[in-house]
Amino acid sequence: MAFPEGFLVGAAVAAHQVEGNNTKSDFWLMEQMEHTSYAEPSLLACDHYNRYEEDIRLAAGAGLNAFRFSIEWARVEPEPGVFDEAALDHYRSVIDCCRENGLEPIVTLFHFSSPAWLIRQGGWESPETPAAFARYVRHVAEGLGDRLNYVFTINEANLGAQIAGYIKLAANGDADGANIQMGLNLEERDEQADAMAREYQDLFGTTSPASFNTPRTDAGNRVIMEAHRRAREVLREVCPQARVGLTLSLHDLQTAEGGEDAEKEQWRIEFEQFRPAFEGDDVLGVQNYTRAIVGPDGMLPTERGARVTQMGYEYCPEAAARVVRRVASEFSGEILMTENGVATADDAERCEFIDRALPELEACAEDGIPLTGYCHWSLLDNFEWESGYRMQFGLVVVDRETMERTPKPSLAVLGAWARGVGDRE
């Protein structure tokens, strides 16, 4: 068995998590607050903004053939309607560097962090946001679109919906079971709510800023979907050769006795309610990190004694292919696995994860599922949002003092899959 000709195997990063000094973004400000839910500020991150060539060469040298990264809205449009051409030139260089090194650039236009000004204008709950997003997307598309075959508009469009679901469970005292596939400290947010609200008021003019990683209302989900549709319209007009989609964070949901209705509801929250956005897209980005068992009241806590990752959820490499199969039965376009990975201090666990996940994904492709690529999260140990730098998702270690990169054995393991030799080497 082997992946079909042209199958993409790559690694993923996101701007705020690796670039460093994303000073115009909402997250930067929230990280710097006196009362903050962030374990630490991102600061220089992995200095990828300056070291992207080295990082791309590392990926290419291992045999990977794709690199997924995001363009930072706050850099490209630091003030509303004011565009920084140097930032766009930078991303043009990143794309060109990918091509020179034989990597397909897979670009995400929005990966969680927003320009601070957007949040001051109401953020991801404001009906004005889709127009603002479309303006930014037009600028990027006109500058870079001709170079791209894959553009994802919004990363994990369903993140806020998942967080809202978690908060509802927490209110019922059932939060243990909710595994959000992103580093969040919701308890800390709760404990310091009043002090944080005062700081938010000063920074954003509101006590509850609608950043992307906050619970979304139904109206907010409609804002996100509209932002995606407007962006897709622009991309189809400006760079019609690019395949366009969004990405979703999806659990491999399994049903415990009596959990049938709750499981259906969870899938509705994560997947089905976003159909008005992704229906008609060329490609859907699927992101999975674990499975979740759903009982009558929702997701159950991870079983006692289960093997867990640093994130606290179950170690489950087989979940990825199961989610891909489920999505394929409900979406007819191309599927790209845009994220999958494991936070662990023991790289042998990551090697095992890759060697268990990839054969199952190969089998998907063999069975005729239009799965065209796999991006491992992440190329680098990086800034895991509110969890800070303590989560180790990377194929490469980054020394936090010197920024020196050291590939882990898992980078070569993934490279072998990209070269079509997988675990047969």
Q: Which is nearer to ligand BGC, 182 or 238 (CB)?
A: 182
Residue 335 Cβ vs ligand BGC, minimum distance, rounded to whole Å: 17
Q: Which is nearer to ligand BGC, 91 or 377 (CB)?
A: 377
The residue to which tokens 């930067």 are assigned: 28
Residue 167 Cβ vs ligand BGC, minimum distance, rounded to whole Å: 17
Q: Which is nearer to ligand BGC, 165 or 422 (CB)?
A: 165
Between CA 219 and CA 170, with CA 211 as vertex, the angle to 5 degrees is 75
Residue 289 Cβ vs ligand BGC, minimum distance, rounded to whole Å: 6
* 345 touches 394 (CB < 8 A): no
Residue 105 Cβ vs ligand BGC, minimum distance, rounded to whole Å: 17
Residue 172 Cβ vs ligand BGC, minimum distance, rounded to whole Å: 24
Three-state secondary structure readout of the chain: CCCCCCCEEEEECCHHHHCCCCCCEHHHHHHCCCCCCCCCCCCCCCCHHHHHHHHHHHHHHCCCCEEEEECCHHHHCCECCECCHHHHHHHHHHHHHHHHCCCEEEEEEECCCCEHHHHHCCHHHCCCHHHHHHHHHHHHHHHHHHHCCEEEEECCCCHHHHHHHHHHHHHCCCHHHCCCCCCCCHHHHHHCHHHHHHHHHHHHCCCCCCCCCCCCCHHHHHHHHHHHHHHHHHHHHHCCCCEEECEEECCEEEECCCCHHHHHHHHHHHCHHHHHHHCCCCEEEEEECCEEEEECCEECCCCCCCCECCCCCECCCCHHHHHHHHHHCCCCCEEEEEEECCCCCCHHHHHHHHHHHHHHHHHHHHCCCCEEEEEEECCECCCCHHHHHHCCCCCEEECCCCCCEEECHHHHHHHHHHCCCHHHC
- Active-site option among 31, 72, 104, 156: 156
Q: Which is nearer to ligand BGC, 239 or 324 (CB)?
A: 324
Using CB positions, name the residue nearest to ligand BGC: 182
Q: Is 40 a catalytic residue?
A: no
Residue 393 Cβ vs ligand BGC, minimum distance, rounded to whole Å: 6
Residue 367 Cβ vs ligand BGC, minimum distance, rounded to whole Å: 27
Q: Which residues pair with 173 in a beta bridge?
A: none
CA distances from 277 to 26, 52, 178, 250, 251 (A): 25, 32, 25, 16, 19
Q: Which is nearer to ligand BGC, 182 or 324 (CB)?
A: 182
Residue 380 Cβ vs ligand BGC, minimum distance, rounded to whole Å: 11
Q: Which is nearer to ligand BGC, 129 or 155 (CB)?
A: 155
Q: Which is nearer to ligand BGC, 153 or 181 (CB)?
A: 181
Residues engaged in binding ligand BGC (CB under 6 A): 14, 17, 155-156, 181-183, 249, 287, 339, 377, 384, 393
Instruction: Give the torsion through C-alpha atoms of 135, 136, 140, 141, to 10 deg.
Output: -40
**In angstroms, rounded to a whole number, what is the distance separating the alpha carbons of residues 48 and 210?**
27
**In angstroms, rounded to a whole number, what is the distance separating the alpha carbons of residues 175 and 190?**
13
Indicate the pairing of strand 334-340 with strand 298-299. unpaired
Q: Which is nearer to ligand BGC, 46 or 239 (CB)?
A: 46
Active-site residue set: 156
